[in-house]
Chains A and B, each alone.
Chain A
Amino acid sequence: MGAIGPFFTPHDPTRVDLANNLLPPAFFPGGVWTYPLGTDQLGRDMLSRLIGGARVSLLVALVVVLVSGAFGTTIAMLSGYLGGRLDSFLMRLTDAALAFPFLLVAIVLAGIFGPSIQIVILTIALVGWASYARVIRSEVLSLKTRDFVTMASVMGAGPAWIIRRHLLPNVTGSIVVLATLQLGRAIVSEAALSFLGIGVRPPAPSWGGMLSDSQQYLIAAWWLPTLPGLALSLTVLSSNLMGDWLRKLNDPTQRH
Chain B
Amino acid sequence: MRALVIGAGAVGAKVAQQLLSSNAVDKIVLRDTSPEKLVLASKNLGSRVEVEHFPFSQNMDADVVVVASPRGTQLEAVKKAITLRRPTVVVSDGLSETVSVLNLGKEASEFGVPVVVGTGFAPGLSCVLAAYGKTFLEETEEIHVSKMGTGGPACALVHHRSLSRMSYGWREDKWDKRLGGSGRELLWFPEPVGPQDCYNAALSDPMLLHNAFPEVLRISAKMAATRRDRLTAFFPMLTPPHNEGGIGAIRVEVRGSKSGVQENIVLGVSEHPALAAASVTALTAEYLLKHKIKLNHMSTLALLVEPAEFLSDLAARSIVVEIFEGDKTTV
Q: Do A and B bind each other?
A: no
